[in-house]
Amino acid sequence: MLSKRADILRVEIMADLPLHVLVLAGGNSTRIRTGGPKALLDLCGVPMIEHIFRTCEDLPAKSRTLVLGPTHRSKIEAWLEKSEHDEWNVVEQTVARGTGDAVLCALESMPATGRVLILCGDTPLLRSSTLQLLVEQGNVMLTAEVDDPFGLGRILRAENGELLAIAEQADATDEQLEICEINSGVFVLDIEALRAALAVSDDNNAQGEVYLTTPAVKVLQESNGATVTLPVEESEQITGVNDLHEMVYVNRVLRERILEDHLDSGVIIDDPASTFIEVDVEIAPGTRIMPFCVLRSGVTIGADCVVGPFAHLRVGTELDDRAQIGNFVETKNAHLGEGAKSKHLTYLGDVEVGAKSNIGCGTITANYDGKNKHRTVIGENAFIGSGSILVAPVNVGDNATVGAGAVVTANHDVPAGETVVGIPAKKLSK
């Protein structure tokens, strides 16, 4: 009983130490073969590394550090400068000598004491709740039972369950390769103890690298009986993206999570299997999303709208309540007012459409002149006939009508209540 109480007190003391977050993303992305950093590969509308950042953004961290390699550092830093993540400090691992060396590089700029949460930059399926539970422990490693452990470090235990070591794929015996409990690469470790353990680490292994696992296990073993491993229930959470096959899998899992969240909030999705909704899409309850629609990050949809089938809503699209977007309609930076409709074969870019206006089949807002984008403004209760072209910048007033096939040229506004027809569009004589 006294030993158990001592363990609880030890965990409580550890949990009170300042927390620092460290993300390892220093690889050269050679197996991805896209030529760029895998950290910036798009996953449901945002770069992969963005998912990692969001997962740990609510943790009470005193500092956040990102380890990068020289190959892709400039590209990732350029993205960081444009993002909202200026709280992340970048450290370079000049030579790729393994995860242990990467952590050692980062520790040089960290405080002497505290705890460090270590994450891999290519595991975007981790849940915030998992990390929250992890940091409430003492020194701890996240583990998982998987069906196919190939390529992953195996957890070696004594008969009583005590942690002995982690055997990397390249160093493991045939017997050890049969083990299905694996290291996720996620740790919470005491900084002072980890720094001391790394200082005496070497690269005497099959890969000639400084492993993080060996010093990490040493720190965990010296935790004097406190909880040292935490199994994750959803093994998919620790999936790493090493090639584009794994990228496809991770993308599918993330997409399914997004769809489930919308279904749980009252959005009607006819066929989730054919519906693609990215992160940061807001949809009010009662809206129906029909099959084969793509809703990009940055779209906002009100209540009781209808979208699709075969619709493509891009960034900046905003639909007020009861607006309708039909088949083969594409929108970008488009605001449709309450009850407005665009039902067929239409492109709406950089446009404001007033309440209850109707956009006919085949309409195009010609928003780009080859150098600059321009905006079209359509008033309320307006009627745009089929096959019309509205060349921006141009305004169409309330209750105005544009006849089928008309071309409204730039800066030739259509006054409220007026009807225009022809090429170029002119006022219809009464």
Domain that holds residue 255: 246-427
Which of 413-419's residues contact partners 24+ apart within 8 Å by CB, and which partners?
416/379
User: Is the same domain home to 182 and 198?
Assistant: yes
Domains contained in the chain, number: 2
Distance of CA 62 to the CA centre of its chain: 23
pLDDT block averages, 10 residues each, the chain of length 430: 42 74 90 90 97 96 96 95 92 92 94 96 96 93 93 92 92 94 96 95 86 93 76 93 95 98 98 98 98 98 98 98 98 98 98 98 96 97 98 98 98 97 90
pLDDT at 208: 86
Cα–Cα dist 220/194, whole Å: 9
User: Is the same domain home to 185 and 120?
Assistant: yes
Question: Which of 239, 258, 281 marks a domain boundary?
Answer: 239
Cα–Cα dist 270/263, whole Å: 10
Q: Are 357 and 337 in contact (CB under 8 A)?
A: yes
Residue 186 backbone dihedrals phi, psi, to 5 degrees: -110, 125
User: Is the same domain home to 165 and 309?
Assistant: no
H-helix or E-strand spanning residue 390: strand 389-391
User: Is the same domain home to 393 and 261?
Assistant: yes
Question: 121: helix, coil or strand?
Answer: coil
Cα–Cα dist 331/305, whole Å: 15
Q: Are 39 and 46 in contact (CB under 8 A)?
A: no
User: Is the same domain home to 275 and 235?
Assistant: no
Q: Which of 143, 169, 139, 174 is nearest to 157 (CA)?
A: 143
For the annotated catalytic residues, the residue numbers are 344
User: Is the same domain home to 322 and 382?
Assistant: yes
H-helix or E-strand spanning residue 262: helix 244-264
Task: Write the CATH number for 41.
Answer: 3.90.550.10
User: Is the same domain home to 176 and 304?
Assistant: no
User: Is the same domain home to 198 and 267?
Assistant: no
Geometric angle at alpha carbon 137, from 133 and 143, rounded to 5°: 70
Q: Based on C-alpha coordinates, what's the Rg of the chain?
A: 28
User: Is the same domain home to 211 and 284?
Assistant: no
User: Is the same domain home to 358 and 308?
Assistant: yes
User: Is the same domain home to 80 and 221?
Assistant: yes
Question: 364: helix, coil or strand?
Answer: strand
Geometric angle at alpha carbon 242, from 237 and 243, rounded to 5°: 115
pLDDT at 207: 86
pLDDT at 11: 54
Question: Which of 221, 239, 257 marks a domain boundary?
Answer: 239
User: Judging by DSSP bridges, how do beta strands 181-190 and 115-120 pair with one another?
Assistant: antiparallel
User: Judging by DSSP bridges, how do beta strands 154-157 and 163-167 pair with one another?
Assistant: antiparallel
User: Is the same domain home to 180 and 326?
Assistant: no
Task: Write the CATH number for 417.
Answer: 2.160.10.10
Question: Which of 220, 239, 258 marks a domain boundary?
Answer: 239
Quick one: DSSP state of residue 184?
E
pLDDT at 50: 97
